[in-house]
Every structure is written in structure tokens, then in C-alpha cells.
Amino acid sequence: MRASVIGGSGYIGGELVRLLLQHPHVEVAQVTSNRFAGRPLHFVHPNLRGQTELNFVSDTEVTACDVLFLALPHGVGMKSIERWDGLAPRLIDLSADFRLRNPADYGTYYHETHPSPAWLERFVYGAPEVHRERLRAARYVAVPGCIANTGLLALYPLAQAGLLAGDVFVDGRVGSSAAGNEPSLATHHPERIGAVRIFKATDHRHTAEIRQVCQASVHMTATAIEAVRGVQAVCQVMLPQPATEKEIWGVYRGAYGAEPFIRLVKQRAGVYRLPEPKILSGTNFCDVGFELAEDGRRLVVVSALDNLVKGGAGNAIQCLNIAEGWDEREGLRFAGLHPI
């Protein structure tokens, strides 16, 4: 299968190429960057040196392929979706442009009117653990946002079990690569180093995705931490009635026991007792754990993943694997590093 990546000079685009180059069923056909057209991929992504001889091409040079990954900034792909649709029978979009079902939500969370609202219903929300059956043979896939995926994977089993009756509060902590590779004052090293900066105390745009999937009253705070990769979501839930730890274990094992990329992490001893994003760098795993207060009602659920992989490129490839009927783990078997 020939795959092309549109917007390949960004961090997500680079991760897509890195992973696709190791995929047994995929050939990387073209990678675009208008800014770096003609230059080798390793000029921007030095880890790809010796892995591919491809050069970047401009968007205007893209030819037909079997699957097109759109790794464009938010708001760009939605304005030219018909053009991209004409180049491949399958589109996988990694921006926010087609994640939300209700067009009005784009006005609320992105402060813009969606220019192609008829396309929203064509896209399947690319959360394999939620929409696996809908992803089979799907032509259009919208990959979740990184903080959204972290939060919804923590909360979805509880939602399915009817345990999200009240308000849910999510504290999303995210590394600097989630801001993309365009520099700004907020991402400038002297400003970012050592920071634990709340950059969105209320109404973060990824809240809409968690609400859409879990059908719950979710409130999220987003905090920038001193890390390059990784997201950790700490979710505070008040259960409608007291529960036991065994019952909560049953909810999560029932939901995720057969999932290839969800690991339940809850240890009574050791250093990594609850999910830690650092050890997930480069992997497609999402670790989920919890702690239940003595009253049996206050439940703290913690989840973690690599924002560029399970929070982006890896999740996109997992969706492709499902759509094509391949083993979901193809191209995604890296176990991570420790120590790192």
C-alpha cells in the first residue's frame, strides 16, 4: 500500500514517517512540506537519516496513492478536503477539523464556522477502543487529540458502566511537543524550562471530544510541564454510589482486557505504581490506573501516553490497520525504553 503524508515536516508528520517506514504492508510514497520542498527528510527529522532517501515535495506535487495522512495545522485541511479526497480512497486526518459531530461545536471551541460541515458525518472518530467496528473499512478517519485521547481512555469504561453521573474534572499535563514545531514565546526554552504552566484553566478544546465520547459533564484544565513528550490525565470522579476496588477492577478489565495497546497499571509498591508518560515515549501504549478513596466514592483515574504516538501518529496507523483488516500491532510493536 502506498501512503503519503501531507504536512510531513511537523512532529506528528515525522512520527508518521518513522512508523510507516517500519510497517510491513506500507510504502511511503510522498511526504510534503512547502517550506522544505526538495530537501531530504532527515534535514528536518534527523532520526530518519539512513532510513529513507525521500525528499520533501510541495503540496502541489502530490500524486494519487492508497491512503493519505493529513498532518496539517488545524483549520487547513477542512478548507481543501475535496482536493485531498480526490487523491486517495482513504483519508486519515490528524487535525481537529473533523473530530466533532456537531458543526456548532467548532464555533464554541475553535471560534470559527466549519467550511465543510457536510463532511463531519463521513468521518469516523478514530478511537479504536471505542469505535473499532465502525473503523473496519472506514474511508475517512479523524484521529483524536492527544489530551482528549488520554482523558477519554481513562473515563470511557466508567461511562459505559453508568458511573459518570456527576461532574468529572480532568487535569491534563502535557509536554512541549504537543505545541508543534513552530516556535513561540510560550515554547521558547528560557520560558518553558522548569515551568508547570496552566495554559488553559477552563474550556480546553479537547474537552469537547471527551464529552462527545463519554456523554458526561467533563471539565478540563491543561498544564504545560517540563517534558518533551507525554500526556498524563488525572481524572477526579465522584461515583453515584460507593464501590469496591474489586468492582472498579472489573469495569476496567471488562473494557480493556483484550486491548492490544491498553495496559492497566496499579501497583501497591515500586516506583511506577500509576501511569507515567516518560516510559511510554515512542510507544503506542496507553497506561490506565486508578485509586479509590476509603469512602468508596471518590475515584482518581490516571492515564498516560506519548502525545505524538498513541496521541497522534501511532493511533492513526492503528486505525489504518483496523480498516485494512491487518493485525492492529503492525508497525507499532516498539516496547519503549527504560531508563530514558
Catalytic residues: 146
Task: Please list the residues that pair with 304 across neighbouring strands.
Answer: 232, 287
Helix H or strand E encompassing 150: helix 146-160
Instruction: For residue 55, give the DSSP letter.
Output: B
Task: Please list the residues that pair with 234 across neighbouring strands.
Answer: 171, 302
Q: How far is CA 11 from the centre of its chain?
A: 13
> Is beta strand 140-142 parallel, antiparallel or unpaired with respect to 91-93?
parallel
Return all residues near 301 (Cβ < 8 A) that are at least 6 apart. 154, 155, 158, 233, 234, 235, 237, 288, 289, 290
Cβ contacts of 176-184, under 8 Å, gap ≥ 24: 176/224, 176/227, 176/228, 177/11, 177/228, 177/229, 177/307, 177/308, 178/146, 178/147, 178/231, 178/307, 178/311, 179/224, 180/10, 180/11, 180/73, 181/9, 181/10, 181/11
Q: Residue 292 in contact with residue 243, Cβ under 8 Å?
A: yes
Return all residues near 257 (Cβ < 8 A) that are at least 6 apart. none
